[in-house]
Amino acid sequence: MHKFGDELGPERILEVYDPKLKYEAVVVIDNTALGPGKGGIRLVEDVTKEEVFGLARAMTYKNAMADIPFGGAKSGIAADPKKIDKEKVIRSFARLIKPLVPQYYIPGPDMNTTEKEMGYIADELKDKRAATGKPLSMGGLPHELGSTGFGVAQATAVAVEFLKKDISQCTVAIEGYGNVGTFTHKFLEEKGAKIVALSDSKGGIYNKNGIKYNRALEVKQKTGTVSEYEGTKIEGSKLFELDVDILIPGARPNVINESNYNKVKARLIVEAGNLPIKHEIEKKLAKKKILIIPDFVANAGGVISSYAEYIGMNKEQMFQLVEKKIKANTAKVLENAKDLDTRAAAVSIAKNKVLDAMAKN
Identify any residues that bridge with 13 across adjacent strands, giving them in sequence order.
28
Strand ranges of the sheet holding 71-78, from the earlier edge strand across to the other edge: 12-18, 23-31, 71-78, 37-43, 105-109
Q: Is 31 left (phi over 0), alpha (psi -120 to 50) or beta?
A: beta
Q: What gap in Å lies between CA 268 and CA 125, rounded to an integer?
A: 44
| Partners of 105 in beta bridges | 37
Strand-pairing partners, residue 78, are 24
* Residues acting as catalytic residues: 74
Phi then psi for residue 77, to 5 deg, are -110, 120
